[in-house]
Amino acid sequence: MYGLKDYFLRTGFFDLLPVAVRIARELRCTSDEMIEAICKVDDKARVYPPTRNRRSWFATVFREKLQEARAEMLALQNRYQN
């Protein structure tokens, strides 16, 4: 089973893991939400790669994708509870 560090390594954003952890703590996100978000960030980076400030781009996109991941996970959880 892969962990959070493994996903950041595979996506090429390992150097930004401390930034991601800080953002996730601010938003009170779980590691599962972080994993989902980093996969979404990787998808976006393939289509719209950062061109100037990679760290700032990552922080903005990761925050956005964390919120998307949380919403999707809550929707799935509610779907299976009903």
Query: Are 23 and 66 a contacting pair, CB within 8 Å?
Result: yes
The model scores a pTM over 0.85 = yes
Per the structure, the count of domains in the chain is: 1
CA atoms of 4 and 36, how far apart (whole Å): 10
Which amino acid type is present at position 58? Answer: F
Query: Are 24 and 34 a contacting pair, CB within 8 Å?
Result: yes
Determine the structural domain holding residue 58 and report its residue range. Answer: 4-81
- Helices (DSSP H) in 1-82: which residue ranges? 4-11, 17-27, 31-47, 54-81
> pLDDT tens, 14-24?
999 999 999 99
> pLDDT tens, 42-68?
999 999 999 999 999 999 999 999 999
